Amino acid sequence: MRVAILHYWFLLHGGGENVVEALLEIFPDADVFCLFADEGSLPKDLAPSKLHLSDLSRIPFAKRVNRAIFPFYSAAVGSFNFRGYDLVISSDSAPVKDIVTPIDTIHISYCHTPGRFIWDLAPNFTAELPWYLRSTFAYVASRARTADYVAAQRVTHFVANSEYVRKRIAHYYGRDAAVVYPPVDTSKGYISEDTEDYYLSVGRLVGTKRVDILIEAFNKMKRTLYVVGTGREEKKLRAMAGPTIKFLGRVSDEELWDYYARCRAFLFAADEDFGIVPVEAQAFGRPVIAYGHGGSLETVRVADRLGHSDTGVFFDRQDAVSVIEAIDRFEAREHTFSPLEIQKHARTFDKSIFKNRIRDVIDAFVTDPGTIPAVTSISGGPSLAAVPSMMRVAR
Hey, is 319 helix, strand or coil?
coil
As a whole number of angstroms, the distance between CA 197 and CA 241 comes to: 18
How many domains in the chain? 2
User: Looking at the domain assignment, is residue 67 inside a domain?
Assistant: yes
Predicted local distance difference test score (pLDDT) of residue 393: 31
What residues are paired with 31 via a beta bridge?
Answer: 4
Residues 31 and 114 in one domain: yes
CB 207 within 8 A of CB 270: no
At residue 378, the pLDDT reads: 30
Do 87 and 119 reside in the same domain of the chain?
yes
In a domain, 221, yes or no: yes
β 178-179/199-202 pair status: unpaired
Q: What is the DSSP letter of 264?
A: S
Same domain, 34 and 170: yes
**Integer Cα distance of 97 and 77 in angstroms:** 8
Predicted model pTM:
0.86
> What distance in Å separates the CA atoms of residue 120 and residue 177, rounded to the nearest whole number?
19
What are the backbone angles phi and psi of residue 225, rounded to the nearest 5°? -125, 125
Q: Where are the beta strands (DSSP E) in the chain?
A: 3-10, 31-37, 51-53, 87-92, 106-111, 157-160, 178-179, 199-202, 225-228, 245-249, 265-268, 288-291, 312-315, 371-378, 381-388
Pairing of strands 381-388, 371-378: antiparallel
Three-state DSSP at 184 gives: strand
Residues 230, 251 contacting (CB under 8 angstroms): no
Which amino acid, 347? Answer: R
Predicted pLDDT of residue 306: 52
Looking at residue 369, what is its pLDDT? 59
Instruction: Look at residue 242 and tell me if it is in a domain.
Output: yes
Give residue 151's domain range. Answer: 3-183+350-388
Is residue 38, in this structure, part of any structural domain at all? yes
Name the amino acid, one letter, at 172.
Y
Claim to verify: residue 57 and residue 120 sit in the same structural domain: yes
Residue 317 forms part of a structural domain:
yes
> Same structural domain for residues 288 and 367?
no
Q: How far is CA 4 from the centre of its chain?
A: 21
CATH number where 117 lies: 3.40.50.2000
Does residue 355 belong to any structural domain of this protein? yes
- Judgement on whether residues 43 and 178 belong to the same structural domain of the protein: yes
Residue 99's nearest CA partner among 3, 7, 2 is 7
Instruction: Please state, in angstroms and rounded to a whole number, the distance separating the CA atoms of residues 220 and 241.
Output: 11
For residues 265 and 289, give the distance between their C-alpha atoms in angstroms, rounded to a whole number.
7
192 domain-assigned: no
- Return the half-sphere exposure (C-beta side, CA atoms, 13 A cut-off) of residue 156: 23
The amino acid at residue 289 is I
Say yes or no: 342 and 214 in one domain. Answer: yes
* Statement to judge: residues 106 and 79 lie in one domain: yes
3-class state of residue 53 by DSSP = strand
Closest by alpha carbon to 14, among 162, 185, 158?
Answer: 185
CA 151 to CA 71: how far, in whole Å? 14
Residue 33 DSSP class: E
Q: How far is CA 46 from CA 109, 301, 379, in A?
A: 21, 36, 36
Residue 339 sits in the same domain as residue 384: no
pLDDT tens per residue across all 395 residues of the chain: 899 999 988 877 778 889 999 999 999 999 999 988 887 778 887 888 899 998 888 887 777 777 777 778 888 888 899 999 999 999 987 678 888 899 999 999 999 999 888 888 888 888 888 888 888 888 888 888 888 899 999 999 999 999 999 999 999 999 999 999 999 999 999 999 999 999 999 999 998 899 999 999 999 999 999 999 999 999 999 999 999 999 999 999 999 999 999 999 999 999 999 999 999 999 999 999 999 999 999 999 987 545 568 999 999 999 999 999 999 999 999 999 999 999 999 999 999 999 999 999 999 998 875 655 444 333 333 333 333 333 333 33
- The answer as to whether 189 is a domain residue is no
Residues 30 and 162 in one domain: yes
Q: Are residues 331 and 319 in the same domain?
A: yes
Helix (H) or strand (E) holding 218: helix 211-221
DSSP assigned state of 307 = -
The whole-number pLDDT of residue 116 equals: 84
Would you tell me how many other CB atoms lie within 10 Å of the CB of residue 131? Answer: 6
Same domain? For 257 and 218 the reply is yes
